Amino acid sequence: MIKVAILTVSDKGSRGERVDTTSVAIKEVLDPNLYEVVETKIVPDEIEDIKCELIRFCDDLKVDLVLTNGGTGFSRRDVTPEATLAVIEKIVPGIPEAMRAKSLEITPKAMLSRAVAGIRKGTLIINLPGSPKGAVENLNVVLPALKHGIEILKGEASECARKDD
C-alpha cells in the first residue's frame, strides 16, 4: 500500500468559508487497492503553515506521497511551490512538466501553473491545482508512473526500463 496525505491550501477553506471538494476528488481518483489516504488537512496560504504540514507528513507520518492542492498560481497569497521547495531535498521536474504539457492541450492557462514536485526523505510531494477538475486532470497524467517511482524511492524496485515500456 502507498500511504498518502492530502494537503489543501486555501485561506477560505481553512476558515470554514468554503467546502474542500478538491481533496475529495483526489481521493476518488486514487485506487483504494493501491493507495491509502491516511490524512487530509486544510491550511491557509501561509508558507510556514504549509512547510510545517509537509514536514509533519514526511518526517512524522512517513507517508509515501503528499498531494497538495491550491496555492500554485500567480496570486500574492499563492506560496505552495515556495513552501515545497523549502522542504524538499531533490526536485523532480518531470512531474510538473508532464502535467503542464498535458494540461496545455486543454487550456493555454496551464502555462501559468507554478506547481513543483520533489522528494523529502522517503516521500514524494506533488503540487496540484486547487480546482477539483484541474487536480484530477493533473493527477491522472502522473498516476501511471507514480507506483513505480514510489517503489524506487522506497527501495522496492530498481529497474526503470523494460523492453515493453
Do residues 61 and 39 make contact, with C-beta atoms less than 8 angstroms apart? yes
Sign of torsion over alpha carbons 58, 61, 63, 67: negative
Binning pLDDT at 50, 70 and 90, where does residue 159 land? low
- The residues, any chain, with a CB within 8 Å of residue 149's CB and separated by 6 or more, are 124
- Model confidence, pTM: 0.94
- Chain segment 118-141, per-residue pLDDT in tens: 999 999 999 999 999 999 999 999
Write down all domains in the chain, each with its CATH number in brackets.
2-153 (3.40.980.10)
Strands lying side by side in the sheet with 90-91: 35-43, 2-9, 65-69, 123-128, 117-120, 90-91
- The residues, any chain, with a CB within 8 Å of residue 74's CB and separated by 6 or more, are 112, 114
Do residues 122 and 89 make contact, with C-beta atoms less than 8 angstroms apart? no
